[in-house]
Amino acid sequence: MTTPMSSSKVYFIASSSGFVKIAPLESMPDPSTNLQGDDDDEIQPLSGCPFYHVILSKSHLNPQYKMPLSNTLPLPAAEVLAILNCGSKSWHMRYCRLGKSSNRFFNHRGWKKFAVENGLKDGDACVFELKESSEEKLVFQVQILRGDIPETLLGRKEKEKEKIKKKTMAKDAEKPRGKSAENNQTGESAEMAILID
């Protein structure tokens, strides 16, 4: 179900020509698209516990599945059980810290299971709220904020990229190419132009 968009809300897109195009959307997405599942899984306000957030990128997801943890959180110096609660489900994994270094992360297998089962994608955000931290276990309340970009904007962005690529290829075709290998056999010294964009 979609809700009609107010006529005052628009998206701005910068074009390669330097002008700004206004692209109104016909409707806003259903607010439930940013929810994690059932009705009891709505986005909740933070409780005041320490937290950090991350916008997911390729390094957090397939194929690497790496999730480093913030150095600002009060976390144990040893490997312990970590529990990620998201909505009405829980995922158990290992929290790891490499020696005295600041490298803190969830183990690969556990983070991968969490990411896959929650359908995490590049551009989604996760808010990790630390509910419990001891030498035995860590408990995080995780909220997922979907980073879905409307298709109408994606299509325009891809068209802009294609235009820029074609212009670059056309400029490359116009560049002088220097002398051929046949001319070099006559003893002439070849000059090579170096172009810096």
pLDDT value, residue 106: 94
Please provide residue 14's backbone torsions phi and psi, each rounded to the nearest 5 degrees: -80, 130
Cα dihedral angle (161, 162, 163, 164), rounded to 10 degrees?
50
Q: Quick check: 130 and 138 in contact, CB under 8 A?
A: yes
pLDDT per position as a tens digit, 61-117: 988 899 999 888 989 988 999 999 999 999 999 999 887 777 899 999 999 999 999
Domains annotated on the chain, with CATH: 41-145 (2.40.330.10)
pLDDT more than 90, % of the chain: 38
- Whether pLDDT at 132 is above 50: yes
List Cα–Cα distances, 109 to 23, 59, 77, 190, in angstroms.
Answer: 42, 15, 21, 57
pLDDT per position as a tens digit, 134-158: 999 999 999 999 987 665 555 555 6
